[in-house]
Protein backbone atom coordinates (compact mmCIF):
# COMPACT_ATOMS: atom_id res chain seq x y z
CA UNK A 1 0.00 0.00 0.00
CA UNK A 2 1.10 3.53 -0.63
CA UNK A 3 1.42 6.07 2.18
CA UNK A 4 -1.84 7.77 1.17
CA UNK A 5 -4.94 5.59 1.07
CA UNK A 6 -8.52 6.45 0.19
CA UNK A 7 -11.85 4.92 1.02
CA UNK A 8 -13.83 3.65 -1.94
CA UNK A 9 -17.12 1.78 -2.18
CA UNK A 10 -17.74 -0.57 -5.08
CA UNK A 11 -20.97 -2.36 -6.04
CA UNK A 12 -20.79 -5.85 -7.54
CA UNK A 13 -23.57 -7.61 -9.37
CA UNK A 14 -24.07 -10.73 -11.46
CA UNK A 15 -26.90 -12.80 -12.90
CA UNK A 16 -24.88 -15.33 -14.90
CA UNK A 17 -23.64 -18.00 -12.49
CA UNK A 18 -23.81 -15.26 -9.83
CA UNK A 19 -22.46 -17.21 -6.85
CA UNK A 20 -19.35 -18.23 -8.78
CA UNK A 21 -18.80 -14.89 -10.51
CA UNK A 22 -19.29 -12.84 -7.33
CA UNK A 23 -16.82 -15.12 -5.54
CA UNK A 24 -14.31 -14.75 -8.39
CA UNK A 25 -14.89 -10.99 -8.61
CA UNK A 26 -14.18 -10.59 -4.89
CA UNK A 27 -11.04 -12.73 -5.18
CA UNK A 28 -9.79 -10.57 -8.06
CA UNK A 29 -10.58 -7.36 -6.13
CA UNK A 30 -8.38 -8.70 -3.30
CA UNK A 31 -5.52 -8.95 -5.82
CA UNK A 32 -5.70 -5.31 -7.00
CA UNK A 33 -2.43 -3.52 -6.25
CA UNK A 34 -2.36 -1.03 -3.37
CA UNK A 35 -5.90 -2.04 -2.42
CA UNK A 36 -7.41 -3.88 0.52
CA UNK A 37 -11.00 -5.07 0.89
CA UNK A 38 -12.09 -3.86 4.34
CA UNK A 39 -15.85 -4.59 4.47
CA UNK A 40 -18.41 -6.58 2.55
CA UNK A 41 -22.18 -6.21 2.71
CA UNK A 42 -24.73 -8.98 2.68
CA UNK A 43 -25.72 -10.30 -0.71
CA UNK A 44 -29.10 -9.27 -2.05
CA UNK A 45 -31.23 -11.01 -4.66
CA UNK A 46 -32.61 -8.32 -6.93
CA UNK A 47 -35.03 -8.16 -9.82
CA UNK A 48 -33.60 -7.25 -13.23
CA UNK A 49 -34.27 -3.77 -14.60
CA UNK A 50 -34.79 -2.82 -18.21
CA UNK A 51 -34.89 -6.33 -19.59
CA UNK A 52 -37.10 -8.20 -17.15
CA UNK A 53 -36.96 -11.59 -18.92
CA UNK A 54 -33.60 -12.56 -17.46
CA UNK A 55 -32.49 -14.19 -14.20
CA UNK A 56 -32.46 -12.26 -10.94
CA UNK A 57 -29.20 -10.60 -9.91
CA UNK A 58 -27.07 -11.02 -6.83
CA UNK A 59 -25.72 -7.65 -5.64
CA UNK A 60 -23.50 -6.45 -2.82
CA UNK A 61 -21.23 -3.53 -1.93
CA UNK A 62 -17.66 -3.64 -0.65
CA UNK A 63 -15.49 -1.04 1.05
CA UNK A 64 -11.93 -0.71 -0.16
CA UNK A 65 -8.89 1.02 1.20
CA UNK A 66 -6.84 1.95 -1.83
CA UNK A 67 -3.81 3.91 -2.94
CA UNK A 68 -5.15 4.03 -6.50
CA UNK A 69 -6.66 7.14 -8.06
CA UNK A 70 -10.32 6.90 -9.10
CA UNK A 71 -9.34 6.34 -12.75
CA UNK A 72 -6.79 3.68 -11.78
CA UNK A 73 -9.45 1.96 -9.69
CA UNK A 74 -11.83 2.13 -12.66
CA UNK A 75 -9.16 0.52 -14.83
CA UNK A 76 -8.71 -2.25 -12.25
CA UNK A 77 -12.46 -2.93 -12.01
CA UNK A 78 -12.81 -2.99 -15.78
CA UNK A 79 -9.94 -5.47 -15.99
CA UNK A 80 -11.82 -7.72 -13.54
CA UNK A 81 -14.90 -7.45 -15.77
CA UNK A 82 -12.78 -8.42 -18.79
CA UNK A 83 -11.23 -11.37 -16.97
CA UNK A 84 -14.71 -12.62 -16.08
CA UNK A 85 -15.90 -12.23 -19.69
CA UNK A 86 -18.27 -9.30 -19.11
CA UNK A 87 -20.07 -8.49 -22.36
CA UNK A 88 -21.63 -5.11 -23.08
CA UNK A 89 -23.54 -5.90 -26.25
CA UNK A 90 -27.01 -5.60 -24.65
CA UNK A 91 -27.77 -2.59 -22.40
CA UNK A 92 -29.22 -3.79 -19.07
CA UNK A 93 -28.76 -7.37 -20.23
CA UNK A 94 -27.42 -10.40 -18.37
CA UNK A 95 -23.84 -10.16 -17.14
CA UNK A 96 -21.19 -12.29 -15.56
CA UNK A 97 -20.05 -9.38 -13.38
CA UNK A 98 -20.62 -5.67 -13.05
CA UNK A 99 -18.44 -3.49 -10.84
CA UNK A 100 -19.40 0.14 -10.22
CA UNK A 101 -17.50 2.67 -8.12
CA UNK A 102 -20.15 4.31 -5.94
CA UNK A 103 -18.12 6.70 -3.78
CA UNK A 104 -14.45 7.58 -3.55
CA UNK A 105 -13.04 9.45 -0.55
CA UNK A 106 -15.70 12.17 -0.59
CA UNK A 107 -14.68 13.23 -4.09
CA UNK A 108 -16.85 14.27 -7.00
CA UNK A 109 -15.78 13.32 -10.51
CA UNK A 110 -17.54 13.84 -13.83
CA UNK A 111 -15.56 12.13 -16.56
CA UNK A 112 -17.01 10.51 -19.68
CA UNK A 113 -16.31 7.01 -18.34
CA UNK A 114 -16.53 7.65 -14.59
CA UNK A 115 -19.00 9.64 -12.52
CA UNK A 116 -18.56 9.80 -8.75
CA UNK A 117 -20.82 9.60 -6.88
CA UNK A 118 -22.38 6.95 -9.10
CA UNK A 119 -25.55 8.42 -10.71
CA UNK A 120 -27.64 5.40 -9.66
CA UNK A 121 -26.55 5.36 -6.01
CA UNK A 122 -29.47 7.24 -4.51
CA UNK A 123 -32.20 5.94 -6.80
CA UNK A 124 -31.45 2.19 -6.81
CA UNK A 125 -31.99 0.29 -3.60
CA UNK A 126 -29.54 -2.48 -4.55
CA UNK A 127 -26.71 0.09 -4.43
CA UNK A 128 -27.77 2.22 -1.47
CA UNK A 129 -29.08 -0.42 0.97
CA UNK A 130 -25.89 -2.56 0.98
CA UNK A 131 -23.77 0.60 1.22
CA UNK A 132 -25.75 1.73 4.26
CA UNK A 133 -25.27 -1.73 5.77
CA UNK A 134 -21.46 -1.39 5.79
CA UNK A 135 -21.00 2.41 5.93
CA UNK A 136 -24.11 4.25 7.16
CA UNK A 137 -22.08 7.37 7.95
CA UNK A 138 -20.37 7.59 4.54
CA UNK A 139 -21.00 11.09 3.27
CA UNK A 140 -22.63 11.73 -0.08
CA UNK A 141 -20.38 14.47 -1.50
CA UNK A 142 -23.13 16.23 -3.45
CA UNK A 143 -25.86 16.11 -0.81
CA UNK A 144 -23.55 16.65 2.18
CA UNK A 145 -25.45 14.05 4.21
CA UNK A 146 -24.63 10.54 5.39
CA UNK A 147 -26.02 7.91 3.02
CA UNK A 148 -28.30 6.51 5.77
CA UNK A 149 -30.30 9.77 5.56
CA UNK A 150 -30.98 9.47 1.83
CA UNK A 151 -33.21 6.39 1.52
CA UNK A 152 -36.31 8.43 0.64
CA UNK A 153 -34.76 9.19 -2.74
CA UNK A 154 -34.88 5.54 -3.87
CA UNK A 155 -37.01 5.30 -7.02
CA UNK A 156 -36.20 1.75 -8.13
CA UNK A 157 -36.88 -0.89 -5.50
CA UNK A 158 -35.46 -4.10 -6.92
CA UNK A 159 -34.31 -5.94 -3.79
CA UNK A 160 -36.30 -9.14 -3.42
CA UNK A 161 -34.48 -10.50 -0.37
CA UNK A 162 -31.30 -10.32 1.68
CA UNK A 163 -29.57 -13.65 1.32
CA UNK A 164 -28.21 -15.43 4.38
CA UNK A 165 -24.47 -15.17 4.83
CA UNK A 166 -22.36 -18.31 4.73
CA UNK A 167 -22.24 -18.21 8.56
CA UNK A 168 -26.04 -17.86 8.85
CA UNK A 169 -26.58 -20.56 6.22
CA UNK A 170 -24.34 -23.05 8.04
CA UNK A 171 -26.22 -22.36 11.29
CA UNK A 172 -29.51 -23.45 9.70
CA UNK A 173 -30.83 -27.00 9.49
Q: Quick check: is 100 catalytic? A: yes
Given the residues 43, 45, 86, 124, the one annotated as active site: 86
Given the residues 43, 45, 95, 124, the one annotated as active site: 95
Element (H, E) at 79: helix 70-83
Buried-state track 57-84, b at ≥16 Cβ within 10 A, e below 16: bbbbbbbbebbbebeebbebbeebbeeb
Given the residues 19, 23, 36, 98, the one annotated as active site: 98
3 state SS of 134: helix
- CA-CA distance, 33 to 73, in Å (whole number)? 10
Element (H, E) at 160: strand 159-162
Given the residues 43, 45, 100, 125, the one annotated as active site: 100
Q: Quick check: is 98 catalytic? A: yes
Of residues 130, 124, 122, the one with CA closest to residue 156: 124
Catalytic residues: 86, 95, 98, 100
Amino acid sequence: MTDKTFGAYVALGSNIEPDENIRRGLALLREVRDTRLVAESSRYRTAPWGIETQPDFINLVVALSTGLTPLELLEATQEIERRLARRRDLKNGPRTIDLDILLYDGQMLDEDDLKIPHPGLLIRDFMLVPLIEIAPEAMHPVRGLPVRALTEEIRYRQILERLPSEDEHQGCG
